[in-house]
Structure 1
């Protein structure tokens, strides 16, 4: 059953005669596209620097690289990176809850943009205290923004059956990738070759531009984007505040004891957060599934959705290592010179979004072309295809990894090819996953279901962090082979179960 937030906004889907559109889509898609583009510029610019900055000056840094980083080893840097990304997506869940129950999606985006800017400015201040505070603020702001932005895209269409819906989310996804493409070229270059903290400051500027764009374009959004669907009552507000303060006090006492006893290490923060990132998704899905207020149809769709969630978690476990395992490989074992021109390793972070921009219009056209002929693959087949490609990408990655074992720096073409394979999988899963989430969301959990979708990223990255913390060599061929095998097997399982999953999806395709 579709959320009333999308079902009750028919006027957004079909502009009046002679009215302006955005590539044939509702005009409100334009400000959302641009806001997300600038927000992703800030996020991916900082992400392109993160792991390289963490290992700078340490034993795993590339020879001759800029110093001034935190001098951590590769394993610790990968664990921090994975936890940071996991927390960004974990906090999308409470971000969606805040949009549903306190501020509404539109106000939530405005506030979150301010928090993100503050976080990047903290990163621009030298020192570990400012660095970790900045990471926390960016994670909180990004979590609040992500689910509410996607929900507002859903508001623009005539319910889940609007044939342009998947295409609209694909265009929105292109905005993400334009920002992600430009960020490493600009922020990465400045951060890696001039000053790390100046690069982080540029990320704050990107978010400021996103906020201005959003405020200018809000008049084109659906009126539903300003509505708080299920306002929090005073009694509930007091209960949530009380629970939050209790848990905060418990954490403060626990870590106070650990710190004053002299036993605190970084793992005391990383491991609990990673475990939390696995427990929370399971708990949230179980709570929604047990909710007796949901209709039988909604319950059935949630059961079908769990299949997509698990597959997505495995996918993101591999895909998100582009900013850790593959980033370090690019920095230390890949030739950073083409046609006599050298470039910083952060530029490789622009390759995936470049492929997305090249291929996303093709995929959007392809799905629509196949739909007109009643031959479009089902969502389950698209997911199975994505799992196959992401697994194959790491099987391919093993080859240059072995070639570089003797100290040889491999051709950049290896990473370009791996990113191409991953991008094909991404376009079969990510925009389709966003769309199917809004289609299958129970009415009671409109914005929150977008948060649930992002929890799949959390689960995948938390597994990566735990593996790294346990001492496994993420850049070793045996670990790559295991991860690749898991992805291919997961895709095969989804494909074999496609008829069962389609039955659970009801009227959603």
Structure 2
């Protein structure tokens, strides 16, 4: 850890705002690509050789075009699911590499360069690579996955290392950092989404690559001045105490806490398989089945995904104040997670209403209000599970199994993202009404089960639940940390 002498802005080290800017540009790149990816795969399907013959569709069939649309949607969602799964798994490797060999700063620069190359690879015009379009697609995704693995888990470590142990500014620093994530995602959806949908999808990837490159340039040109030696040396140094702890059998209390981690990890699969429809089936529904005309202008479908980060910023202070006002009546963490499931279910009830509005018509369009309501409820659900996330693992995991259980948490989140693609594909098989209703029912059932067992889970935490924020500032920081939880980012204390 090293505090630099480069001065402060608003009472915080200038290095914090360098990391804020780096993360903002990276998230702009990541979410911008995520917002248009499945739309790009469907729009440019012919360039990849994905036609009726590829899917075995009879061109003479009366519904041949409808079959092709469904097949293209399923194919695009499948690719998105695989990509999203590995995005959550590779940070385990990236964190280990930084801790043991490279240091955080080198890891995020390598990660940023790889992601920029990935975006530029996706953005390479097909006319320049005839016959290699599919190869370039998968190469671009591979570079993005590997770059994300090196970047995502390491930049937040550097935020924490800007402050000495016990510095009260640390929580506020992470709040500022989380705002960078949200602003970056909003910027990505609006800038990359607009260019991608209104001009050319591949131009959108190129712009996303430029955004990532800006983050790398910021880091390389200013880190020495504003970060000092923060993130230069590998952080993981196993102490003798850790070695001694690794040989100690688990106590009954520790076994109980591991049970809580595993049970909550399972429920994250259910939550994310619904929440992550945003980039998949809900994105396609917005593009193909929603009336996007507003004030005489057709908004890009990807813009709707910006509703989530906008509502996170708006609702976080409201939720924080509400929990604080409830005092002793504030629900425990498992009950909050159950409430998150209920809100997720309400979001899909909104999607069911959109499906009812269009019925079986091929030309009818659903009101945009249903999708905005769905994203609003999903955001409220995400905010309800903010006390869980990665902090659950750091609070409850036995010392010798912390890394293993952290990796498992990432893995379960990845499974949830992969399952999201499978659920999204069901929309084409059974129709949006049945698919969205199925997710809503699953969310409500999961919420009820979690609510019923919440008391036992709190008992198994053996006091870890008692360590809760006590003032509004801490509460707001906790609510905004839901972004970090979703991103696989944890605070370093």
Contact 1:97–1:447 under 8 Å retained in 2 = no
| 1:227–1:492 distance in 2 versus 1, CA, 3 Å | farther
1:222 & 1:440 partners in 2: Cα distance?
33
Contact 1:154–1:438 under 8 Å retained in 2 = no
- SS of 2:464's equivalent in the other structure is coil
> Cα deviations across residues 399-421 of structure 1 (Å, max 9, x unaligned)?
11121132311221111111111
More divergent stretch after superposition (404-413 vs 420-429): 404-413
1:133 and 2:132 aligned? no
| 1:167–1:393 distance in 2 versus 1, CA, 3 Å | farther
> Cα deviations across residues 310-352 of structure 1 (Å, max 9, x unaligned)?
2222111011111111111111111121111222222222222
1:334 & 1:39 partners in 2: Cα distance?
30
- SS of 1:408's equivalent in the other structure is coil
Following superposition of structure 1 onto structure 2, how do residues 436-475 of structure 1 map, counting pairs within 5 Å?
A: 436-444=392-400, 450-467=406-423, 473=429, 475=431
Partner of residue 247, structure 1 = none
1:41 & 1:439 partners in 2: Cα distance?
31
> Cα deviations across residues 178-207 of structure 1 (Å, max 9, x unaligned)?
111111211111112222221111111111
Contact 2:426–2:435 under 8 Å retained in 1 = no
Relative to the length of structure 2, the TM-score reads 0.75
2:237 & 2:94 partners in 1: Cα distance?
14
2:135 & 2:224 partners in 1: Cα distance?
36
1:402 and 2:356 aligned? yes
- SS of 2:365's equivalent in the other structure is coil
Partner of residue 335, structure 2 = 381
Partner of residue 196, structure 2 = 191
- SS of 2:429's equivalent in the other structure is coil
| 1:366–1:436 distance in 2 versus 1, CA, 3 Å | farther
Report deviation, 1:308.
2.3
- SS of 1:410's equivalent in the other structure is coil
Following superposition of structure 1 onto structure 2, how do residues 112-191 of structure 1 map, counting pairs within 5 Å?
A: 112-125=111-124, 126=126, 127-153=133-159, 155=161, 169-191=174-196
Report deviation, 1:45.
0.7
Partner of residue 332, structure 1 = 288
Following superposition of structure 1 onto structure 2, how do residues 264-413 of structure 1 map, counting pairs within 5 Å?
A: 296=251, 298-364=254-320, 366=322, 369-370=324-325, 373=327, 376-405=330-359, 406=361, 407-413=363-369
1:432 & 1:162 partners in 2: Cα distance?
24
Partner of residue 30, structure 2 = 43
| 1:389–1:48 distance in 2 versus 1, CA, 3 Å | same
Contact 1:58–1:71 under 8 Å retained in 2 = no
2:249 & 2:207 partners in 1: Cα distance?
45
Contact 1:100–1:447 under 8 Å retained in 2 = no
Contact 2:271–2:341 under 8 Å retained in 1 = yes
> Cα deviations across residues 429-479 of structure 1 (Å, max 9, x unaligned)?
257514334434544566665544332321112223345668963752222
Contact 1:388–1:487 under 8 Å retained in 2 = yes
Contact 2:103–2:232 under 8 Å retained in 1 = yes
Provide the aligned length of Structure 1 versus Structure 2. Answer: 427
> Cα deviations across residues 53-109 of structure 1 (Å, max 9, x unaligned)?
111156999xxxxxxxx9961111111112111111121222222233332333221
Partner of residue 488, structure 2 = none
Contact 1:54–1:71 under 8 Å retained in 2 = no
Contact 1:84–1:139 under 8 Å retained in 2 = yes
1:32 & 1:169 partners in 2: Cα distance?
11
| TM-align CA RMSD | 3.6
Contact 1:38–1:210 under 8 Å retained in 2 = yes
Return 5+ residue gaps in structure 2 as ranges. 52-68, 127-132, 239-245, 466-493
More divergent stretch after superposition (379-388 vs 128-137): 379-388
Contact 1:151–1:450 under 8 Å retained in 2 = no
1:429 and 2:416 aligned? no
- SS of 1:356's equivalent in the other structure is helix
